[in-house]
Amino acid sequence: MDSIPEVDPEQAKARLDAGDAIFMDVRDPGSYRAAHIPGALHVGDHNIQQLLDTTDADATIIIYCYHGHSSLGGAAYLLEHGFDHTFSLRGGFEGWRGAFPGDTTPAEGGGP
């Protein structure tokens, strides 16, 4: 596959503020529970098929991991399944937290 499209934290924050992107967190459940980008969905083997079945393929998706490496593979997977507006967050959650330290949230109720 050609290079995976990426967005930097500032571009992702603009999309979050506009409410026009779906954020997907592919980190482990404990990390997601501890803190994630507000409104992000926790995605993994347990729910990826449901995601493919229920998400509009025309939606803009920003996928992130810890440092922006594993999310490249996740973005490639979604792109291969017809989600043409998928981006990996450059720098991952750590890049986001560095740029916007006050703009994270724990999972409500402590569950994924």
SS3 of residue 51 by DSSP? helix
Answer yes or no: 65 catalytic.
yes
Rounded CA gap, 43 and 58, in Å?
18
Rounded CA gap, 93 and 65, in Å?
6
Give me the sign of the Cα torsion angle 18, 20, 22, 27.
negative
Locate 75 and state its tokens: 């973005």
Rounded CA gap, 98 and 112, in Å?
23
Q: Please tell me which residue in 16, 65, 75, 89 is annotated as part of the active site.
A: 65
Give catalytic residue positions.
65
